């Protein structure tokens, strides 16, 4: 029996590992034609070779989302090979952690170049073709931290909040052309992105907060630990296949819990939960 995506062409950034790789595998098993885009060409080729027996077609496309010419070339190569792009998934991203005042302007700019301007470049490259054909799906992978900010992650949270807003605005603009937008909000997923963690908070005014917040992610996901990226891959595939999927799709029990708690608590209660987690009743 044909899969749900038989004949569909799918372009995925950040496809060489983690969520992107898991998503590519999910699409391959359902007959999609895939363009795997990332900077790590050796790893991309390895993924392509693995998926070739299942997928209808698989391309390994070199792509740096921080470069408009690079991304445009990758999209053009894919569109020429497949006759267009039906689904575009902006998954590439990375995180820098550290206290707000310790992160440089360069740290923030690097985050925005990949996590915000990267998806913007992809949208500009693929939406005109989707609009002309009257169909298409754009998926932007944000995070639960795109809805609820956390300490030590100001730069990352800022990029994901920005991408949430841009995605919502885009949905209003392109929906009447037959183009859907889906915002996927994963919780704490393993193995996740290769965070560039900053240390050195000991002896600073923030040392106590660092100690209080240490291990918070593991506490949220519970004894079972972080779910595998396949959970997000399946959620994205299901969201694309179902035209009635809402704009935002939280993924993971921790994401759903955090968003539910944030909706029920005022700012003062949330601050108490974050600043004094051991004594919190949230």
| Digit-coded pLDDT (tens) for 117-157 | 999 999 999 999 999 999 999 999 999 999 999 888 899 99
Catalytic residue among 5, 82, 99, 156: 156
Domain boundaries, the chain: 9-277
C-alpha to C-alpha distance for 46 and 191, rounded to whole angstroms: 18
CATH superfamily of 9-277: NAD(P)-binding Rossmann-like Domain (3.40.50.720)
C-alpha to C-alpha distance for 200 and 71, rounded to whole angstroms: 36
C-alpha to C-alpha distance for 282 and 268, rounded to whole angstroms: 12
Query: Does 156 qualify as catalytic in the annotation?
Result: yes
User: pTM (2 decimals)?
Assistant: 0.89
Query: What is the pLDDT, as a whole number, of residue 96?
Result: 86
Per the structure block, which two tokens stand in for 39?
A: 């900077």
Q: Are 67 and 91 in contact (CB under 8 A)?
A: no
Query: Sheet of 33-38: strands edge to edge?
Result: 57-62, 33-38, 9-13, 87-90, 136-141, 179-186, 248-251
Give the pLDDT band of residue 281 (cuts 50, 70, 90). Answer: very low
Q: Which residues pair with 9 in a beta bridge?
A: 33
**pLDDT, tens digit, for every residue of 178-196?**
999 999 999 887 555 545 5
Question: Once rounded to an integer, what is the mean pLDDT over residues 237-253?
Answer: 95
Mean pLDDT (the chain) is 88
Query: What is the pLDDT, as a whole number, of residue 247?
Result: 97
**Could you tell me the sign of the dihedral formed by the alpha carbons of 141, 144, 146, 147, in that order?**
positive
Closest residue by Cα to residue 219 from 253, 196, 250: 253
């Amino acid at each position: 029996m044909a899969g749900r995506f038989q004949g569909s062409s799918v372009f995925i950034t950040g496809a060489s590992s983690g969520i992107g790789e898991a998503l590519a595998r999910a699409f391959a098993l359902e007959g999609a034609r895939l363009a795997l885009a990332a900077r790590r060409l050796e790893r991309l080729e390895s993924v392509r070779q693995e998926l070739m027996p299942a997928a209808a077609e698989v391309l390994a496309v070199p792509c740096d989302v921080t470069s408009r010419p690079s991304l445009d070339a990758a999209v053009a190569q894919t569109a020429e090979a497949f006759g267009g792009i039906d689904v575009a998934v902006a998954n590439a991203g990375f995180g820098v952690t550290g206290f707000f005042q310790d992160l440089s302007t360069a740290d923030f700019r690097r985050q925005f170049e990949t996590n915000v301007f990267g998806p913007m470049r992809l949208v500009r490259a693929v939406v005109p073709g989707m609009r002309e054909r009257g169909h298409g799906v754009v998926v932007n992978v944000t995070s639960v931290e795109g809805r609820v900010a956390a300490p030590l992650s100001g730069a990352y949270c800022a990029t994901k909040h920005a991408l949430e807003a841009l995605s919502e605005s885009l949905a209003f603009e392109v929906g009447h052309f037959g183009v859907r937008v889906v915002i996927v909000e994963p919780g704490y997923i393993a193995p996740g992105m290769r965070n560039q963690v900053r240390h050195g908070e000991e002896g600073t005014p923030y040392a106590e907060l660092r100690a209080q917040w240490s291990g918070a992610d593991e506490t949220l996901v519970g004894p079972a630990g972080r779910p595998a990226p396949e959970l997000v891959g399946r959620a994205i595939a299901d969201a694309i296949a179902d035209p009635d999927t809402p704009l935002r799709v939280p993924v993971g029990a921790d994401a759903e819990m955090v968003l539910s708690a944030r909706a029920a608590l005022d700012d003062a209660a949330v601050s108490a939960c974050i600043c004094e987690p051991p004594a919190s009743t949230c």
